[in-house]
Amino acid sequence: MSTEPLLSVKGLTKHFPVKRGIVFQSAVGTVRAVDGLTFDVAPGETLALVGESGCGKSTTGRLVLRLIEATEGTIRFAGRDVRTLSRGALRDLRRDMQIIFQDPYASLNPRLTVGETLAEPLKLHGLASGTALRRRIDELLGEVGLSAWHALRYPHEFSGGQRQRIGIARALASQPKLIVCDEPVSALDVSIQAQVINLLQDLKAKLGLSYIFIAHDLAVVRHISDRVAVMYLGKIVELAPKRSLFARPRHPYTQALLSAVPVPDPTAQRARIRLAGDVPSPLNPPKGCRFHTRCAHAQDRCRMEEPLLRPLKDGGAEGQVVACHFAESIVPPALVPENDPPYARRLAALRKLSAAA
């Protein structure tokens, strides 16, 4: 991977005003949907954004693409300041930045055939015309596992998984460098999810793509991501390489999320961290650490002082940063205890197989 990030986001903020009144509207509050995010995405990297519903993941993806305008912060893509681009320059840049939407049923125009849907970005960016346009549409359909004759059909004639493949083909049409995947498999059956995830990985390897992968399914994230950013109430609370985060999460919220991931063994024993209360309202987030109202380790400092995203003082993993005052003193739980009998049996069986090989 290149040392220069493809995408660099600093202090990204989006506040939505809450207004009251029908004719003479007045602002009565502000929803802090995204509040000061900073992260990079390297060429060929998959950065996953995870967290509970409403934490600001999808809003972040749309801010990066300037589908909605940020309140504050900088977004630099391939060295260009995205927020200062004119309408024409932004249209040109969008050839390199695309999105796959969550709902394959709502993201396709029902009045257009698949061929017409794929032809739009090709014509818009002047990438193909005439017979070359038809060949390119056939190539795109082939890349996502569909047949050329599917171009003549309408979206309602496809299954959910096929529609999502069409959405992926549309995102690939302009030959982008970065694709925001906004929960692209959450509306699909589990077996179809695996097919789409494998397709995204194959395309990444083949075309050198970078992904911002938005999800709340940690099993999917573990399969596809290189790094993971955990969000809570509009902020990143932990950012780390995938292996480090799943092996030794350091923020209490990350630990609680990972403890809830099901283990495919009904006899397995593991500690479950149950969070008290509900997620606070982004209209009035708590003072200090936003997680302190649900955190079992919260102290007076957490209620008064907001923690910064920082490297761990005890070293931690390379590239792991945490927004917690007491991350070094919180012992990470054993997500799968080594003395758990089913785990020990599986480990012994794997070692036996490895020795035989």
CA-CA distance, 107 to 98, in Å (whole number)?
A: 13
Domains and CATH numbers, the chain: 232-353 (3.40.50.300)
DSSP-assigned letter for residue 55: S
Query: Which tens digits make up the pLDDT trace of 213-261?
Result: 999 888 889 889 999 999 999 999 999 999 999 888 999 999 999 888 7
On average, the pLDDT of the chain sits at 88
Average pLDDT over residues 57-80: 95
Q: How far apart are CA 8 and CA 80, in angstroms?
A: 10
If residue 197 lies in a helix (H) or strand (E), which one and from where to where? Answer: helix 190-207
- Structure confidence by residue, pLDDT tens digits, 158-174: 998 999 999 999 999 99
Q: What is the dihedral of CA 134, 116, 189, 45, to 10 degrees?
A: 70
pTM of the full predicted structure? 0.87
pLDDT digits (tens, 9 = 90+) for 254-283: 999 988 877 666 666 667 788 888 889 888
Average pLDDT over residues 91-111: 91
Residue 186: pLDDT band (50, 70, 90) is confident
State pLDDT tens for residues 189-200: 888 888 899 999
Give the pLDDT confidence score for residue 89 in this predicted structure.
92
Between helix 114-124 and helix 160-172 the angle, nearest 10°, is: 20
**d(Cα 140, Cα 144) in Å, to the nearest integer?**
7
Residue 338's pLDDT band, with cuts at 50, 70 and 90, is very low
Strands 235-241 and 210-214: unpaired
